[in-house]
Amino acid sequence: MIKFITLFIALTVATFATATAEPIKIGVSLPLASSATKLAEQFLVGMRLAIHNESSADKFELWPVDDGCDREISTLAAEDFAVSDVALVTGYFCSEPAEVAASYLKESGIPILVTEARSIRLMKDRKKEEWNLWRMAPGDDFPAEAAFQALSKRWKNKPYALVDDGTIYGRTLVDEFRARMEEIELKPQFVDNFRAAQSTQAGLIRRLKNSGVQAAFIGASADDISVISRNIAELGGSFDIVGGEVMNILPFQTDGDPLPKGILAIMEPEPDQLASTKTLRDQLRLENIEPEPFVFKGYAAMQVVLQAVKDTRENTTSALQTEVFTTILGDVKFNTDGTNIHNYFSLYQWNGKTFEPVTNDN
C-alpha cells in the first residue's frame, strides 16, 4: 500500500511537471508580409504538421516573426528572438536576414538553421565571423556541381558547347560548370551567347550546327530553352540540350507547341514525386491541404529541429555539428563549414509531360 501511494505521488508530480513545463520556443524568421507571404504560410503549415506528427504537441512552440527579406525589419526580428529565449531560429528565405541574425545572435549562442537562402557569401562570412549558422538549403553552386558530376561522364567523348543568355544567372551557371569541366581537361569546343526573350533563336542553332558540337549546356530561362529546342527540331539539329533548374516550370506551361521529348535539365526532385513523402501527401489530402513544395520544406526543416534541439544551446550546436538528420526530403548532414553535404540536384529528362530522373549518365 505504501509502495502504491509512493508511485501514485511520483506519477502525479511527473504529470504535473509535464503539464506545466514551458514549451521549447523555436524562432521562425520568414517574410510574412511580402510577395512571399503565401510561401511563408505554407512553410509554417509544414512545420506545425511535423510537430503534430513527430513530437508531443505541447513540447514545442513556434515563434514566427516577419523579417521582410529586409535588413531593417530583420534587425527587429533578431531583437525579438534574443529576448524571447528561443532555443533555435530557422526559416530564412533570404540571405540578408540570416546575415543580420547570425551577427546579432552570435553572443547568445542561439543556433541558426537556414532553410532556403543559398548564398555562397553567407557561408564565407560564417567562417570569417564564426557564426553559429547552418545551411540545409543547397548552395548557389550546387546545380553546376551536379551538372559536372553527370555530364563529365555523359560527355567524356562528346564535343559540347556552352551557351548563356547574358544574364547573371545564365553566365554564373555556365562559368561554374565550365570551371569544373576544365579542371579535368574537358574543355568546350564552342562558346556562345544570345539575346534573351526572342521569338526565334535560328541564328544560334545555325552556329551550333556549324561548330560540330553534339551537346550544349545552356544557362537561360525555361522560355528561351523551349524556343531553342523547338528551333532545333525545325532546323534539323541533333544534339543534347541541357538547362538548369529553371526548367522545372515546364510541366505547368500550356502556351505554345508541345516541347520535343529528350530535353535535359539539372534540378532537384519535386517533393510530391518522392516515395518518402507519400504518408504526408496522404495526410494532406485527407485534411484538404494543397501539397505545395513549401509545405514539405517546412516539414523537413522542423524534422531537423526536432532531432537537433537538446537541453542547452551548446548541446544543440554540438548535435548540428555531428549528427545525421533524417527528413522526408532526404538526409541532412553538415560539413565543418556549416553547409549540407548532400546535393540533391541531378540530371532529369523531359518525357513530354514531366521530367524523369536519368538513371544512366553514360
Q: What is the DSSP letter of 334?
A: B
Beta bridge partners of 216: 161, 241
Average pLDDT (180-202) is 95
Q: In this predicted structure, what is the pLDDT of residue 255? A: 66
CA of residue 173 relative to chain centroid, distance: 16
- How sure is the predictor about 338, in pLDDT bands with cuts at 50, 70 and 90? very high
142-267+345-357 is a CATH 3.40.50.2300 domain: yes
Average pLDDT (89-101) is 97
Where in the chain does DSSP place strands (E)?
Answer: 24-30, 60-66, 88-91, 112-114, 133-135, 160-164, 190-193, 215-219, 240-243, 264-267, 324-325, 332-333, 346-350, 355-357
> Over the stretch 205-228, which tens digit does the pLDDT of each residue have?
999 999 999 999 999 999 999 999
> Over the stretch 288-316, which tens digit does the pLDDT of each residue have?
999 999 999 999 999 999 999 999 999 99
Q: Is the pLDDT of residue 329 over 90?
A: yes
- How sure is the predictor about 361, in pLDDT bands with cuts at 50, 70 and 90? low
- How sure is the predictor about 320, in pLDDT bands with cuts at 50, 70 and 90? very high
Residue 356 corresponds to which cell in the numbers above? 524523369
Cα gap 6→12, rounded to integer Å = 10
- How sure is the predictor about 3, in pLDDT bands with cuts at 50, 70 and 90? very low
What is the DSSP code string of 158-199?
Answer: S-EEEEE-SSHHHHHHHHHHHHHHHHTT---SEEEE--SS-S
Q: What is the residue-averaged pLDDT of the chain?
A: 91
Q: Indicate the helix (H) or strand (E) that contains 283.
A: helix 278-286
- How sure is the predictor about 34, in pLDDT bands with cuts at 50, 70 and 90? confident
* Backbone conformation region of residue 350, classed left if phi is above 0, alpha if psi is from -120 to 50, else beta: beta
- How sure is the predictor about 1, in pLDDT bands with cuts at 50, 70 and 90? very low
> Over the stretch 230-257, which tens digit does the pLDDT of each residue have?
999 888 878 899 999 999 888 777 666 6
The CATH superfamily holding the domain 2-138+275-330 is Response regulator (3.40.50.2300)
Q: Is the pLDDT of residue 13 over 90?
A: no
Q: In this predicted structure, what is the pLDDT of residue 257? A: 67
Between residues 259 and 192, which one has the greater pLDDT? 192
Q: In this predicted structure, what is the pLDDT of residue 239? A: 87
Cα gap 272→258, rounded to integer Å = 24
Q: Over pLDDT 70: what percentage of the chain? A: 92
Q: In this predicted structure, what is the pLDDT of residue 256? A: 63
Determine which of 159-173, 238-252, 321-335 has the lowest per-residue pLDDT on average: 238-252
The reply to whether 2-138+275-330 and 142-267+345-357 are identical in fold is yes
- How sure is the predictor about 19, in pLDDT bands with cuts at 50, 70 and 90? very low
Residue 274 corresponds to which cell in the numbers above? 518522392
Q: In this predicted structure, what is the pLDDT of residue 55? A: 86
Q: In this predicted structure, what is the pLDDT of residue 11? A: 34
Q: In this predicted structure, what is the pLDDT of residue 118? A: 95
Say if CB 139 and CB 339 are below 8 A apart: yes
Q: Where are the domains of the chain?
A: 2-138+275-330, 142-267+345-357
Q: In this predicted structure, what is the pLDDT of residue 252? A: 76
Average pLDDT (84-109) is 96
> Over the stretch 121-142, which tens digit does the pLDDT of each residue have?
999 999 999 999 999 999 999 9
Whether this prediction's pTM lies above 0.85 is answered by yes
